[in-house]
Amino acid sequence: MTAPNTSAPVPQKGLMSRAGRIAAQSALLAGVWYVADALTRTAHLPVPGGVVGLVLLLALLFCGGVTPRWVKAGADWLLSDMLLFFIPAAVAAVQYGGLFRADGWRLALVVVGGTLMVMFAVAFAVEQAARLERRLALRRVQNVRHARHLARA
């Protein structure tokens, strides 16, 4: 009779549940995008479906239809691997060498300007979200203190 082999790796339950949570949350985010894209196409809106999806997700977060913990792990995973989504565009750009030689400085100017605008917009949005989060946390603390004060009286 031999002892069981304990050196074989055993999948961690926590790792599997985290991977499942990330997959489900990413699917939820993709579903929001899909609905927003369908809405944009149906209503012939002049904005991309992704923008409508962000507004829809923001509205769901603010009204409580979706809590941040329902999408945090999936959003973190998507953001951490976002660079991979731009590789096909970079590979496709190699095919247009003549265009880059002729108008490369204009394209570079647009890319740099667009990148700077996005960076400023994201920094502004993050700052405003952090301020809102701090105000809400302060309000929660004040409500708890007020409730304790009323309970004592």
- Confidence at residue 123, expressed as pLDDT on a 0 to 100 scale: 92
**Torsion angle (degrees, nearest 10) of CA 142, 147, 151, 152:** 10
- Confidence at residue 90, expressed as pLDDT on a 0 to 100 scale: 66
Structure tokens at 6: 């304990």
- Confidence at residue 89, expressed as pLDDT on a 0 to 100 scale: 64
SS3 for 84? Answer: helix
- Confidence at residue 131, expressed as pLDDT on a 0 to 100 scale: 95
Report the Cα 66 to chain-centroid distance in Å.
14
- Confidence at residue 134, expressed as pLDDT on a 0 to 100 scale: 94
Q: Pick out the chain residues at pLDDT < 70.
A: 1-16, 83-93
- CA-CA-CA-CA torsion sign (108, 114, 117, 121): negative
Look up the pTM and report it: 0.47
